[in-house]
């Protein structure tokens, strides 16, 4: 839009400068330093389907627009008679409305997730022993991927996959030996469409927390990794991320939103030297500065953000300013993200230190928490 109040050239230039100043004030860009310096790479795990660094893994769900999942129900040769009433009950536990609302909020309106279910049960020729939990003498992931592809082929008779982004395969929860649910990156071409993302639901889909399990597994399809320790089933992120092992559908860490593309560079400060004092607005709100990142080395950063018990974070047992480390040299399944301060928020007026970084929670206002970052 061009605005000309007078014909005088100097007045036009003055007005143009004024409008530019207004735009800068109304649309602040918080990235003082080159944000690329804080975008740590995925190290040797760059080709893994899940990770915690840049860039996003290939073949994952798009981070904006409509995302369509086909939901398929599978029974075995030794399953009892199952009807559409049974599949409809399981679908209600997955809760498509909750999933769409959850991810719409998490992505700040960027994505819509649609679950299209075929309630007719697909029968496999094999009995339920075909798929069991992972163990040393059983190639679980290869077997599961082949099973998923087989189910898609069987379902193609009654389904159109041409607009499908992902597939959810729900196994008969009574007969399956699979206790948990898993996300996969597959490569299946059907109806001239490449399907790269799938979820295989085990017997835990019959639990009350099925919708939480579903949103967690979808997180994997977006490329996000588990944050808990696979061997000891513990984590260092408390309830601050959906990708923890605690089974509670809170939000994601700001870093996770950043690598997924749900935070912009303009909402981030990449701070490398000296001291700054800034106001962090709650991660659950749309406006304001969201995270401050301090790079420590090519594979590790410290991240500071403000989490409040509103929206998806309403169930947080600790809220306020939190700080955590992200280390892409640590493999998924070995706790690559750790929340500092004993996995709790930093109390008002308190200071914590990590490596050469000192973080102080200075004060609180309606806009958020004022934090001071000092790098020694």
Can you point out the beta strands (E) in the chain? 65-75, 111-123, 166-171, 182-190, 193-201, 268-270, 275-280, 291-297, 300-307, 320-327, 337-339, 351-354, 357-365, 368-375
> DSSP string of 271-326?
--SSEEEEEEPPTTSSSS--EEEEEEETTEEEEEEEE-SSGGGTT-SS-EEEEEEE
Question: CA 250, 254, 259: angle at the middle one, nearest 5?
Answer: 115
- 293/36 Cα distance (integer angstroms): 11
Q: What is the dihedral of CA 129, 244, 66, 70, to 10 degrees?
A: 10
Q: What percent of the chain has pLDDT over 70?
A: 89
| Distance in angstroms (rounded) separating the CA atoms of residues 299 and 331 | 12
CATH topology for the 65-221 domain:
Collagenase (Catalytic Domain) (3.40.390)
Question: Could you tell me which of 58, 51, 50, 71 has the C-alpha nearest to residue 187?
Answer: 58
Per-residue model confidence as pLDDT tens digits over 259-300: 999 999 999 999 999 999 999 999 999 889 999 999 999 999
Q: How confident is the model at residue 235 (pLDDT cuts 50, 70, 90)?
A: confident
Instruction: Yes or no: say if 163 and 143 are a contact pair by the CB < 8 Å rule.
Output: no
Q: How do 291-297 and 357-365 pair as beta strands?
A: unpaired
Q: What is the pLDDT of residues 317-348, one digit of tens each?
A: 889 999 999 999 998 989 999 999 999 999 99
Give the per-residue pLDDT at 104.
97
- Report the predicted TM-score, pTM, of the whole model to 2 decimal places: 0.90
How do the domains of the chain map onto residue ranges?
30-43+248-375, 65-221
Q: Indicate whether 20 pLDDT > 80.
A: no
Mean pLDDT of 301-328: 93
Joined together, the tokens standing for residue 135 give 């163990």
């Amino acid at each position: 839009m061009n605005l000309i109040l007078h014909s005088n050239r100097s007045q036009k230039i003055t007005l143009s400068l004024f409008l530019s100043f207004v735009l800068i004030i109304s649309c602040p860009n918080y990235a003082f330093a080159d944000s690329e310096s804080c975008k740590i790479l995925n190290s040797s795990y760059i080709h893994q389907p899940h990770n915690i660094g840049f860039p996003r893994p290939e073949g994952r769900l798009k981070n904006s627009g409509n995302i369509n999942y086909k939901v398929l129900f599978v029974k075995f040769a030794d399953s009892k008679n199952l009807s559409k009433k049974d599949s409809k009950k399981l679908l209600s536990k997955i809760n498509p409305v909750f999933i769409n609302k959850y991810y719409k909020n998490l992505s700040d309106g960027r994505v819509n997730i649609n679950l299209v279910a075929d309630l007719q049960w697909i029968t496999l020729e094999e009995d339920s022993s075909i798929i069991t939990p992972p163990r040393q003498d059983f190639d679980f992931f290869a077997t599961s991927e082949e099973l998923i592809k087989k189910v898609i082929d069987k379902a193609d008779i009654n389904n159109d996959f041409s607009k499908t982004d992902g597939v959810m395969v729900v196994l008969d929860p009574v007969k399956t030996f699979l206790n948990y649910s898993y996300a996969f990156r597959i490569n299946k071409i059907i109806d001239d469409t490449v399907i790269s993302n799938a979820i295989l639901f085990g017997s835990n889909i019959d639990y009350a927390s099925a919708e939480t399990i579903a949103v967690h597994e979808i997180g994997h399809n977006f490329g996000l990794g588990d944050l808990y320790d696979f061997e000891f089933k513990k984590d260092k992120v408390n309830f601050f991320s959906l990708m923890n092992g605690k089974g509670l559908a809170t939000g994601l860490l700001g870093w996770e939103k950043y690598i997924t593309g749900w935070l912009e560079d303009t909402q981030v400060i990449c701070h490398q030297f000296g001291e700054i004092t800034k106001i962090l607005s709650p991660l659950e709100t749309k406006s304001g500065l969201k995270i401050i990142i301090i790079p420590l080395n090519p594979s590790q950063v410290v991240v500071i953000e403000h989490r409040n018990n509103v929206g998806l974070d309403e169930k947080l047992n600790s809220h306020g300013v939190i700080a955590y480390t992200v280390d892409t040299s640590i493999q998924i399944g070995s706790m690559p993200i750790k929340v500092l301060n004993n996995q709790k928020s930093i109390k008002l007026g308190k200071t914590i230190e990590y490596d050469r970084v000192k973080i102080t929670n200075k004060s609180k206002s309606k806009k958020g928490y004022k934090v001071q970052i000092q790098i020694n």
